[in-house]
Structure 1
Amino acid sequence: MINRMRIGRRAPILLLMALAVVATIALADAIFVYTGYINVKPMTTPLVFSTGPNGNAQPYISFTVSPNYDSFTVTLEIANSTASYYYQVGQLTVNMAGYIYVNSINLSGSAVNTMTIYIQSTSGSTQCTFQVISGGSTATTPSTSCPLNAGNTYYISIKVVPNLPVTSSSIETVTVQFGYNVVGNTVVPVP
């Protein structure tokens, strides 16, 4: 009887120890490690942004480019009008053929009802049309892609339809991230 009491008192402890062993085995992870090597080297940038022929018509429009020519900032003024069209404010030099598209759009403010970015040949014909804002909200992204040819120069034009009436507080910041696929016309969302 004493042995049964000893076992009876120890049974819960033995059961917990057995569960701990089983749980450790069941919860164990098996990790296999593989090594990959990634070599990084410089290349000519596929696209180069610069100020277009009408990109510095102050105070109406200012198109400035980063020191590495990989991004641009546009400051433009809107008025109580149906629309404002800023023609050939930016320039885009294509070093490698590829497909450009709008990857993402972020808005801060509510001054703009509609915004469209046009990429045009130097003769003025429209090559690409990107709706950025529609009805005061961001357009669907990513957009469809548009081909650009190596060795060509294109101009960037912007059409803005403001939310009326335009007042001194009608301010908005629009951030547009472009993607450029040099391999194919597939639109690849960039995280």
Structure 2
Amino acid sequence: MSLAYKNDTYNYNGEYEMGSLNEFAQAERRLSEKKQALDDMKNEYDLIEQQAFRTYKENIKYMLLDQPSMIKMCREWLNMLSKNQDANGNKLDKRKKYKEKEMYDWYINYIKKNLDVEYMNDVKFIDYNFGQATYIQFEYKEHNWRLGIPHIKAIKLDAYKNYGSSVFKLALIHNDAEYSCSWSQFGSTYEEDELRDIMTQGIEKYCN
């Protein structure tokens, strides 16, 4: 028998003192009850989190910016330019109209209008988080910028769990130094109409 072990007993005042086995059982029971309460709370939290996630998915829509098929065509045009070949492998003909170019021109002009910028040089389309968003990177006023466009239908619950509501927001990001991989987000919004003001603030902060 362990020296720490004790039986149920009564002290000199006639008060009951619980023995070791009953103390062990009580401790385990309390621990089990608390674990069950925590499990119940975790389940309740998960349900509320899923409801919040669905609320974002059902209520946010970027009508013209969040267009994966349109972005795909823009990527294809940039790829055609880099290879100087059309989709069939033929040399690009400047006299010919290409649907990919027309889509690219329209989409970039739409973004320029939203950001209120005169031009966008060295444009790149960067996939982010396995298709859950696209970063449109460009040079403007000798600085590199990114417009982050979430693809609402593609966003997964895990992304929301890890990053919260920010995964559903349009974001503007600045490259902090030339030839640097350091980028800083300087604004985000649910409203396309607010991108202009955010970009203006970014230009004032970084370009002056």
TM-score of the aligned structures, taking structure 1 as reference length: 0.32
Q: Which has the higher contact order (CA 8 A, sep 6+)?
A: 1
Structure with the bigger percentage of strand:
1
